[in-house]
A and B are shown apart, each in its own frame.
Chain A
Amino acid sequence: MKRILAVAMAAACVVGASGGLFAQTPGVTDTTIKLGSFIVQSGPVAFIGVPVMRGAQAWYNYVNDELGGIHGRKIEFLALDDGFNPANTVAVMKRLVEQENIFALVNPLGTIGMAAVWTYILENKLPVVSPHMNWLTLASPTVPHVFALQPNNESFGRAAAQYAVKELGAKRVAIAVVEDAMGTELLNFALDELKLQGMQPVAVIKYPGTETSFSAYALTLRQSRAEAVLLFSYVSDAAKLIVECDLLGFKPKFVGINTITLQLYDLAGEAAEGVIFPGFGTDPQDPTSEAAAAMRAVYARYYPGELMNAYAMIAYVGAQMVTKALMDAGPNLTREAFIAALDAFTDWDADGMIPPVTYRPDDHYGIKTLWMNQLKTVNGVRTAEFIAEWDWTKHR
């Protein structure tokens, strides 16, 4: 009898796993919710992936340990390393969906991996929340089950060009751009925006992502006599270029993108003074923000001694967004309820950590308003000072 029972149970498990008999929500049991992600943890991009993973993990741990999970269900956050290699991202996604049977994809990192699994996500109608990438395709056109959070390259590219022309009054604008997927997209939007303003850039310098010497580029920029230079670069490249310009005595106004952080001061020193860059979140080390202090406390509990940076912050906020939607979806958790809960988000700002986010069924854009900051030394302390809100759609 026991054996028959065991065989029957095994059979039931097999049938259940293949999703045949029970129309159960994937990844959800009475006690757990399984969330999956691909976040690079090794190789050259790990410096972004590690804080992103930790930021998200810290919040999910906190929800499990202190808030008792979501409606009695603990969160299992399964973040796998894809090595920032699209072929691996495809493998990771198949494993998450077909073996681990995840409820949703949350906090995934990297445009190139996402591009490789995009069709797969659409086919499986897998909910995607808080993807960490500037990829325009995520939100345009709207996909019912995909919710972008970070501003995309269109926002950054257009805002930088607009800000240089309209706010700084630059008549001569130059662009320095890294040659990769991100840089190319930013450049196209900035060029288009300048064209709308009736302008042409006085110089466009493109450099490969592996470039180490920027003196020749700085010379070209100086010869172009640009008043403003748009920096579509990663922070280390931007630092090298700014330092080289400074050495030549060339001091235009630099307008960067979200890759620029306070770290630029450490890398470029004095030369970084006055650099303008858009942000979409409060610096987690900001001493004046209570929300940031609460966040730091949670982070320090799980990763003692680790400094929380902007990457960890946005992952943490993204995780908060996920748990809020899970909470709002109610005890009978289904993907439909989860998506409906997200579609009802109105002016949600994670206690002021990010500009307000509103989702509607036809609008999954996420953060639209950028916070323009400027690097400034105030009373001997190097800070990023907030100077203006900028929504590119309102400056046409």
Chain B
Amino acid sequence: MKRAIFWTVVVALLALLPLVLRSYNLYLLNLAAVKIIAAIGLALLTGFTGQLSIGHAGFLAIGAYGTALLAQYAGLPFWVGIPVAGLLSGLAGFILLVPALRLTAIYLAIATLAFGTAVVEALPRWASVTGGYQGMSVPRESFLGVTVTRNDVAMFYLALVMVVVLLWVARNIVRSRVGRAFVAIRDKSAAAQACGVSLAKYKALAFFLSALYAGLAGGLYAHVVGYISPAEFGLGKSIDLFIMIALGGMASLPGPVLGALFLTYLPHWLSGFRGLQSIIYGSALIGVVIFMPFGIWGFVRKWTAPDKVQSLPWPLRAAVEFVRGGGGR
């Protein structure tokens, strides 16, 4: 109960942010929300189920283009377009299931890489619809008389709702029978099978969920930025997503959130350091990997372990214990 109140207060405080932040900062938060959603999706697949994917930007592209094209050609409003495009992306996730049932580890990674590349190559071929390499503008939409697309405040609330709902859903999945099946497959698929976990069924579910999350993130992205082009969904984006969950802590939900926030803000803080930003960025990543082998969240958990917390001064100790509550995982 206490924790429910705590999180309600957190969300309520976040909802007040548009009163103090200007549109640039809101826009960055919106971009962060897109990455958070996609990273949670990837964490479900890679972190919890142990299926490596480095073609995830392909699902983002399906979601983004799906939303934009549904708006442009079918006139579907965003609150229909984003979920429909997300579902489309989720169904596309089954494509990856075919190799995933036969391949493991790095070989699966190669297959997913091929998928990601194929999507990005296919989009510009259909230039009359997708606008080709030039990309396309996302049609402007209104909701209850307010322009929504490219409106940072409106998008902030949409992003907030999506993040809260999708995080909550992911948390419940992870703590359920399904989540335990995912972890069992990751840790030892043969043992999982011996315990009656259907590999095909749960892998399919993991791919579907992960692609669904990425698709929803893509749909949000299309309306936040208002412009999409194939080049944005290339290999670099897939690797970025992977770095996010590796950096934040893969097999956790706070991990991808922290990783996504870190990777959204770091480049912007560094954009003033001309010529040096790549070096600082690279060193920061290497530093995290060396000193926080289980990601940022792993690091936080290590330093808030019960024996460490005992030695903390009182106010800090109380805060940590309160937030941890009945176990964060």
Contact = CB atoms under 8 A, between A and B. Distances in A.
A390 B227 CA distance: 35
Contacts of A185: 134
Contact of B277 (A81, A183, A208): A81
Given A87-B31, A90-B27, A99-B24, A80 B272 contact: yes
B232 interface: yes
A38 B299 CA distance: 36
A79 B273 CA distance: 10
A85 B267 CA distance: 12
Contact of B232 (A53, A80, A85, A99): A85
Interface stretch (A112-120, A285-293, A353-361): A112-120
B24 A86 contact: no
B133 A180 contact: yes
B232 A181 contact: no
B274 A53 contact: yes
Nearest to B26: A94
B135 A112 contact: yes
Nearest to B28: A91
A86 B135 contact: yes
B278 A115 contact: no
Given A112-B135, A184-B127, A91 B227 contact: no
B277 A87 contact: no
Most buried by A among B221, B227, B270, B278: B227
For chain A, which range describes its interface: under 10, 10 to 19, 20 to 34, or 35 or more residues? 20 to 34
B267 A83 contact: yes
Interface residues of B, number: 32
Nearest to A41: B274
Interface in B260-306: 267-268, 270-272, 274-275, 277-278
A339 to B, nearest CB: 25
Nearest to A137: B134
Contact of B134 (A85, A88, A115): A115
Contacts of A86: 135, 225, 227, 229, 232
Interface in B101-154: 121, 124, 127, 132-135, 137, 150, 152
B contact patch SS: helix
A50 interface: yes
Interface in A67-113: 79-83, 85-88, 90-92, 94-95, 98-99, 111-112
B231 interface: yes
B227 A92 contact: no
A179 B125 CA distance: 10
Contacts of A181: 132-135, 229
Nearest to B133: A181
A91 B23 contact: no
A115 B134 CA distance: 8
Contacts of B152: 94
Given A87-B221, A180-B231, 12 more contacts: A41-B274, A53-B274, A79-B274, A81-B274, A85-B232, A87-B31, A98-B22, A98-B23, A99-B22, A120-B150, A184-B124, A185-B134
7 contacts: A85-B232, A86-B229, A87-B232, A88-B271, A94-B23, A115-B227, A119-B226
